[in-house]
Amino acid sequence: MSFDLVLFGGTGDLAWRKLMPALFQSFRHGTLPEGGRIIGVGRDDLSHEQYREQIQSRFNSVEESKRPNAEEFARFAALLEFQRMDLSKPDDYAALKSILETRNADSVVMYVATAPGLFTTVCEQLAAAGLNSDHTRIVLEKPLGHDLASNRAINETVRRCFKEKQVFRIDHYLGKPSVQNLFALRFGNALFEPLWKREHIANIQITIAEDLGVEKRGAFYENTGALRDMVQNHALQLLCAIGMEPPINAHADAIRDEKLKVLRSLKPWTAETLSQHVIRGQYSAGKSSGVSVPGYREELGVNPDSQTETFVALRTEIANWRWAGVPFYIRTGKRLAGRDAHIVVNFHQTPHPIFNAPVGAANRLVINLQPKDGLELHLLAQAQGNRSRSASQSLAPVQLDLDFDKRFGSERVGAYERLLLDVLDGRLNLFVRSDEQEEAWRWVEPIIEHWKNDAAGPRPYGAGTWGPSASSAMIARDGYCWSEES
Count Cα neighbours of 222 within 13 Å in the Cβ-side half-sphere.
15
Distance (Å, whole) CA 449 – CA 147: 10
Determine how many CB atoms are found less than 10 A away from the CB of residue 394: 16
Q: Which residues does 415 contact at the CB level (< 8 Å), separation at least 6?
A: 172, 173, 174, 175, 176, 177
Distance (Å, whole) CA 427 – CA 415: 14
Distance (Å, whole) CA 235 – CA 144: 16
Q: Which residues does 466 contact at the CB level (< 8 Å), separation at least 6?
A: 209, 336, 337, 472, 482, 484
**So what's the pLDDT on residue 411?**
59
Q: What is the pLDDT of residues 103-122, one digit of tens each?
A: 989 999 999 998 878 899 99
Mean pLDDT of 33-53: 95
Q: Is 234 part of the annotated catalytic residue set?
A: yes
Q: What is the pLDDT of residues 122-137, one digit of tens each?
A: 999 999 999 999 999 9
**So what's the pLDDT on residue 345?**
96
Distance (Å, whole) CA 144 – CA 124: 16
E strand or H helix at 187:
helix 177-187
**So what's the pLDDT on residue 413?**
79
Q: Are strands 201-209 and 36-42 parallel, antiparallel or unpaired?
A: unpaired
Mean pLDDT of 338-363: 86
474 burial class (0-12, 13-18, 19+ CB within 10 angstroms)? buried
Q: In what order do the strands lie in the sheet with 80-84?
A: 80-84, 36-42, 3-8, 107-112, 136-140, 167-169
Tell me the one-letter amino acid at 427.
R
Distance (Å, whole) CA 421 – CA 24: 12
Distance (Å, whole) CA 310 – CA 283: 7
Q: How confident is the model at residue 387 (pLDDT cuts 50, 70, 90)?
A: low
E strand or H helix at 177:
helix 177-187
**So what's the pLDDT on residue 410?**
61
Distance (Å, whole) CA 362 – CA 306: 41
**So what's the pLDDT on residue 55?**
93
**So what's the pLDDT on residue 178?**
82
Mean pLDDT of 232-251: 95
**So what's the pLDDT on residue 408?**
78
Percentage of the chain lying above the pLDDT 70 cut: 97
**So what's the pLDDT on residue 176?**
86
**So what's the pLDDT on residue 11?**
93
Mean pLDDT of 35-46: 95
Q: Which of 146, 172, 234, 378 is catalytic?
A: 234
- What is the sign, positive or negative, of the torsion defined by CA atoms of 256, 202, 331, 402? negative
| pTM, entire model | 0.93
